[in-house]
Amino acid sequence: MEYCTGREELIVEDDNYEDMTPHNAFELSIHNRKLFLTFFTVTQVPGIIAIILMLVWTIHYRGGFSWGETDPGHAFNWHPLLMTIGMIYLYGNGALIYRVLPPLNPEVKKKLKILHAITMGVVFVLMVVALQAAFDSHNYAKPTAIPNMYTLHSWVGLTAAILFAAQWLSGLLVFLFPVAGPSLRARLLPFHQYYGSAIFALVIASALLGLLEKALFLGIPSYKEKKGEQLMMNIMGMFIIFFSCGVTFMLSKFNKEKPM
């Protein structure tokens, strides 16, 4: 399963692959390992910071974690944390697997497909738990239940979740298991790649909408003061944007052609 954009990865049959250097040291190429891995490392920083800030927010400001009917208010806190870890950070890095570890030969490419599928499988599990936490926090709210699926955040988020589930399942059947032949895989690959990137964009949009929604629920007067919890939420949103920009840049702009 390849969630990245662009043409199918080039298989390089060269024992000296890691030693190859492009003529231009600043060429944006996955074969220019030093430059590429520098960009990859830099991209990780805002993603990790976003997770740390989310953990601090859910524990320090939102009171920590619970589960189910006993404490629905704190059960909700699993939702933003697991979505940030899974659908943002792991999903973004899962899409970069074929860039960080370009396939040297068919055997390596098969292993990368398995690693990609496992990563996205972990994302799927975290997503399901996060969605359940959100629905439980609404359904078990006291004294009356909170309505589900009435905000734009929930509409965009559920759309991304459904598309991701369909994308992951179809990717398993078409690209990992021998269900489809080479011709069908080649025809479906551009669609698979496009929807992988589109889903990531929907996830980022949903995350930002969710942060804004929660900040407004906490109170507009305090939000206008630009301090405390809501300011932290804005900063967290910016780090999510920085991470997503790094991921999409590496997916779309780095040249995959072998340097001459």
Fill in the amino acid letter for 154: S
Compare 21 and 36 and report the one with higher pLDDT. 36
Determine the pLDDT at residue 153: 97
Determine the pLDDT at residue 60: 94
Q: Which fold has domain 30-253?
A: Four Helix Bundle (Hemerythrin (Met), subunit A) (1.20.120)
Q: What is the DSSP string of 183-214?
A: HHHHHHHHHHHHHHHHHHHHHHHHHHHHHHHH
CA distance 5 to 121: 20
How does pLDDT run across 183-210, given as a tens digit for each residue? 787 888 888 888 999 999 999 999 999 9
Per-residue pLDDT band for 21 (boundaries 50, 70, 90) equals: very low
Per-residue pLDDT band for 106 (boundaries 50, 70, 90) equals: confident
Determine the pLDDT at residue 197: 92
- Its sign, for the CA torsion 34, 45, 194, 127, is positive
Fill in the amino acid letter for 196: G
User: Which residues share a beta bridge with 29?
Assistant: 255
How does pLDDT run across 71-87, given as a tens digit for each residue? 888 999 999 999 999 99
Res. 15: pLDDT tops 80: no
CA distance 151 to 72: 19
Q: Mean pLDDT, to the nearest integer, of 29-40?
A: 82
Determine the pLDDT at residue 16: 44
- Its sign, for the CA torsion 17, 21, 23, 26, is positive
What are the residue ranges spanned by the domains of the chain? 30-253
Q: Mean pLDDT, to the nearest integer, of 237-256?
A: 88
Per-residue pLDDT band for 176 (boundaries 50, 70, 90) equals: confident
- Is the CB of residue 92 less than 8 Å from the CB of residue 248? no
CA 48 to chain centre: 12
Compare 86 and 101 and report the one with higher pLDDT. 86
CA distance 185 to 255: 22
Could you report how far apart the first and last alpha carbons of the chain are, in Å? 29
Question: In terms of C-beta density within 10 A (0-12 exposed, 13-18 middle, 19 or more buried), how is residue 133 classed?
Answer: buried
Helices (H), the chain: 33-56, 72-75, 78-83, 91-95, 97-100, 106-139, 152-171, 182-217, 220-224, 228-253
Determine the pLDDT at residue 192: 84
Res. 10: pLDDT tops 50: no
Q: What are phi and psi of 9, to 5 degrees?
A: -60, 145
Compute the mean pLDDT over every residue in the chain, rounded to the nearest whole number.
86
Determine the pLDDT at residue 255: 64
Determine the pLDDT at residue 93: 96
Q: Radius of gyration of the chain from Cα atoms?
A: 20
